[in-house]
Structure 1
Amino acid sequence: FSHIRTGKWSSIMPLNLSETFGFSEPIRAIPIVEPDASHTVGLVATPREPHTPLVSALLDEAMALADDFRAHH
């Protein structure tokens, strides 16, 4: 993000990420609150057993998040 440090460019990033860069000059953060957008994301894995530990953990977490989302919407 050296282009941002020049002061001539801008970027869109999470606020906490911008804080980790340690800019010497303060930067201006403008929250994006509209429009409220959402996107559908799919997860695809080969249907084989056993999955690698990483794939198993990812699928387990995705299922837990999906269950939580369905319970609250």
Structure 2
Amino acid sequence: MSVGCESTKDTNERLHPEKVVANILGMEKFPDQSQINHFLQVMDEESIKQLRQIHHEIFIKHSNNLSYNEEIVVDFD
């Protein structure tokens, strides 16, 4: 799942209370379980395509490895 959470129910105890970390990431707070579940339920094929495109653009913009001929693995959680 995300940041040490094995399921969405863990987010209320582990992730949601971490306001300082959320602030560092430019967020007021992390989403709670219901918000994450809602996000997952409304995801469709178009949303996934958009996330892939955003990931690709961010990777290209910040990659120092574009000149390597080897395969690069990016773990995107």
Q: TM-score, normalised by structure 2?
A: 0.29
Q: Which has the larger radius of gyration?
A: 1
Q: TM-score, normalised by structure 1?
A: 0.31
